[in-house]
Amino acid sequence: MAQHDDHLEVGPAPHRWRARAGATAACIVMLIAACSGDHGRSSANDRGAGLAVEKLPADQQAAAYAAALRGAFDLGPSLVLLLDPAVLPQRRGAEPSDTIPAAVAQALESRGVIQGSCTAVPASPRGAPICKAQSAGYKVQFSPVFRLTRDTVQVYLVAERYRATRDTAGYQPPLEFEQRYGLVRSGRQWRVASKERLTH
C-alpha cells in the first residue's frame, strides 16, 4: 500500500495539481491582505504622514502644545479649555489608543493654558458634547509631536465646543475644527511658524 501511495505522488493527477495551485494562490492572497491591513498601510492624509514622533521631555511637549493653543485661541480668563487626554490617532477615523502622559497634562495646567480635563459625553448627533464643568468652553485634543527638522516639529490640534453640565437645558450646536501647526523651538519655548486649517 505504501508503494502504491508513492507511485501516486510521483505523478499527481491534473485535478490534484490544480487544487494545490489554488491553495497556494489563496495563501498568497491571504498573506498580501494581512500585510496590507490597517497596521501596514499609510496614507498621505494621516496625521504626521511620513514623520517620526519626536521624543520630548514633558515640559517641552507641554510647551509645544501651549504654543499651538496660543495659535488657535486668544487665551484669557474668560476662555475655558479642557484637555481631552486621548491622543489623536495618526490614522483618521481610528479609535485613540494612547493618552497624554500625566506629567504633560500637569505641565499644561501649570502654564495656565488649560483648566482641567474632559472626556466628553456626546449629547446628541446635532448637539455639542457635555463636559463636567462650571462653564462652557472647548475641549482640546492633541496629536503626538512629529519631527520635521532639528528644531521644527509638527502638531495637530482638534478643538470642540462643549456644554457644561450645569447648563444643558439650552441647545448649543456642535462646533469642531482641526489645525496643523509647524512649530520652531527658540531656547525652551516654541513659536508658531505655520498654521493650516484642515477640512475632512
131 grid coordinates:
463636559
Alpha-carbon distance 51 to 170, whole Å? 43
The per-residue pLDDT string of the chain (200 residues; one tens digit each, 9 = 90 and over) reads: 444 444 434 444 444 434 444 444 433 333 333 333 444 466 888 999 999 999 999 999 999 999 999 999 999 888 999 999 999 999 988 888 899 999 999 999 999 999 999 986 665 667 788 888 888 899 999 999 999 998 999 999 999 999 888 775 666 677 899 999 999 998 889 999 999 999 86
58 grid coordinates:
514633558
Residue 102: CA atoms inside 13 Å, Cβ hemisphere, count?
Answer: 0
9 grid coordinates:
505522488
Q: What is the pLDDT of residue 93?
A: 83
Q: What is the pLDDT of residue 62?
A: 97
Alpha-carbon distance 43 to 200, whole Å? 14
User: Where do the structural domains in the chain lie, given as residue ranges?
Assistant: 2-35, 58-198
3-state SS, residue 146: strand
Judge if pTM exceeds 0.85.
no
Q: What is the pLDDT of residue 165?
A: 81
